Amino acid sequence: MEFLNTIEEISMDKFMQEVIRFKMEGWHVIQICAVRVDGGYELSYSFGRDYDMRTLRLKVAEDETVPSITQVFHTAYLQENEAAELFGVKIENIDLDFKGKLYRISRETPFKEKG
C-alpha cells in the first residue's frame, strides 16, 4: 500500500480556495509550521486524510497579512496563535485570538529574528 505525502508551494491568491477544498474533501488540519526566511516567513499547513498527508507551503513577506483558516478548521487557532506570537506572523481574523498571551514568554516574538 502506498501513501501520499506531498509538499505543494501555493500562492496567497489560491491559498484559502485550497483550504476550503481540503475541508470539503474530508481532510483534517494536522499542523501549521512557521519558519523564518530572508524577508519573511515560510508557512507549512499540513492536512491528513486516512494515511495520506498533503502540505501547502505559503511564502509571505514579513509585513504581509495571512488569512486565518479557523473559519474552515476551527482547531487551527492554537497553531495560528503560536505562529503569530512566537514568530510575528500577521494572521488576521483568528476565531480565538489570544493577542500575544498564549505563552508566558520573556520577550515579544522570540523567533522573529532569523538565527
Give the per-residue pLDDT at 113.
73
Cα–Cα nearest to 68, from 53, 57, 54, 78: 78
CATH number, position 46: 3.30.460.80
Within a domain: residue 106?
no
Cell of 81: 496563535
> Residues with Cβ < 8 Å from 7, sequence gap 6 or more?
44, 55, 57
pLDDT tens readout for residues 27-36: 999 999 999 9
Within a domain: residue 82?
yes
Record the pTM. 0.90
Range of the domain at 62: 5-92
In total, how many domains does the chain have? 1
